[in-house]
Amino acid sequence: MIIDAIPGDKSISHRAIIIGSLTNGTTTFDGFLKSEDCLCTLEIFRQLGVEISMDSTTVTIHGKGVSELKKPKNQLHVGNSGTGIRLISGVLAGLPFDTEITGDASIQQRPMDRIIDPLTQMGAKITGNHGLPPLKIQGQTKLKNGWVYHMPVASAQVKSCILLSAITTGVGVSVHEPEPCRDHTERMLQLFGATLTTTNGVIELTDPSLTAPVERIQIPADISSALFFICLSLMTNQPATFKNIGLNPSRVGCLTVLKMMGADINIVPKKNSYEPMGDIQVGATHTLKNIEVPLSLIPNVIDELPILAILATACEGTMIVRGAQELRIKESDRIDGICRLVNALGGNIKEYEDGFDIMGPITSPQNIHFDAHYDHRLAMSGLIAAKAFGTTANIEGKDSISTSFPNFLALLDAS
């Protein structure tokens, strides 16, 4: 089976809107993810005065540069998107007018001190509601030049927030990351002409000017979305090829885990200018065995752990996940959610503060009744589990799927 309908990468689609809007020039992005999260980011930049047109999944941004951004009339709203609020707050911190930004009920429970603290140290005036949104960001502040930030957690959202604040305020900055995390912001800033290097975990932005407009860019399909259907192929022993998937090294840890489990995965790389991409071929599978996920891979696979947990329920042995405490502060508490889902399916899971053990394989899969707490990845994991095990799924909060994967249900029906 050939699957070429995996939608565009969510992380890259957010950055496309943001960085395209900060550039002086017109950029067309093909393969934009038209999901609720990314559309909120797009609307925010329209509110900031940027002309953006959209035709299917092609988005054209008529950027006029940072100095032409306008004070929005209303509070900005990121919907359900943690990436949206953290990255855009960085942008706003460097602008010469006051703004306020918030999101839905889940966003209003997500910690923002991880960006408030560094931005404040950098000179921004940003206040939250006890560290939670809404965030009030005061304009007219000049951020420090050459500031060096040591991130306490490996977070691409925090790193990107700092880099983007440096872009809008026009200063240099260095960010030290404790472990590598996704580098889409760095790649796109470089593509648009910023001078930025990464050496041994230090990202150094020395010239924040985006001097090189780019006419047309392809956004690859989202590997995090593809993985739901890759796992379904593996669980149902159906070979499949997934076309034009993003293969950025900071995102392909899930494929490493699958290979360690014994999956037959082959990559056919394709040419793309700034983000690696290619086809992922899933072969006729051998029996998969659960593994201990290496600690060093955790930041790379953090979004994929819910669906990997479902795969683990079908495999021999124990999947061990530790060092994944960040899962507790995603769209929902995903460690709690994974445990509730595996239990609802009739599997065997033990919860830890920073992870879980899953003892497979499941002997009698159950019809699933599950509250996804409006968390798209938990809802999709539940639906894949039911499809793979031939049970039914009654999932509360599955509307959340439209935040990241609008055609998920159609693809699932066709599988």
Residue 80 C-beta: closest distance to ligand S3P, Å:
11
Beta carbons of 184 and 248 less than 8 angstroms apart = yes
* Cα distances (angstroms) measured from residue 201 to each of 12, 109, 153: 21, 30, 13
What's CA 256's distance to the chain center, in Å?
A: 18
Task: Give bridge partners of residue 176 from the DSSP assignment.
Answer: 150, 202
Between helix 82-93 and helix 36-47 the angle, nearest 10°, is 20
| Opening angle at CA 272, ends 269 and 276, nearest 5 | 55
Edge-first strand order for the sheet with 265-270 is 2-3, 240-246, 277-282, 265-270
Residue 404 C-beta: closest distance to ligand S3P, Å:
9
Burial of 316 (0-12, 13-18, 19+ CB in 10 A): middle
CB closer to ligand S3P, 152 vs 239: 152
Kindly list the residues in this chain that would bind ligand S3P in the complex (CB under 6 A): 11, 83, 155-158, 160, 181-182, 302-303, 326
CB atoms within 10 A of CB 281: 14
Residue 308 C-beta: closest distance to ligand S3P, Å:
14
CB closer to ligand S3P, 302 vs 358: 302
DSSP label at residue 6 = P
SS3 203: strand
- Given 37, 104, 183, 303, which residue is catalytic? 303
CB closer to ligand S3P, 331 vs 371: 331
Termini Cα distance of the chain: 9
Residue 89 C-beta: closest distance to ligand S3P, Å:
13
* Cα distances (angstroms) measured from residue 305 to each of 96, 122, 181, 264, 351: 40, 34, 15, 19, 14
CA distance linking residue 47 with residue 36, whole number of Å: 16
Residue 407 C-beta: closest distance to ligand S3P, Å:
19
Active site residue 303: yes
Residue 33 C-beta: closest distance to ligand S3P, Å:
11
CB closer to ligand S3P, 81 vs 290: 81
Task: Residue 224: name the closest of 389, 405, 412, 402 by CA.
Answer: 405
CB closer to ligand S3P, 155 vs 290: 155
* Cα distances (angstroms) measured from residue 287 to each of 241, 265, 279: 19, 13, 23
Residue 184 C-beta: closest distance to ligand S3P, Å:
7
CA distance linking residue 132 with residue 326, whole number of Å: 17
CB closer to ligand S3P, 7 vs 347: 7
CB closer to ligand S3P, 54 vs 153: 153
Q: Which residues are catalytic?
A: 303
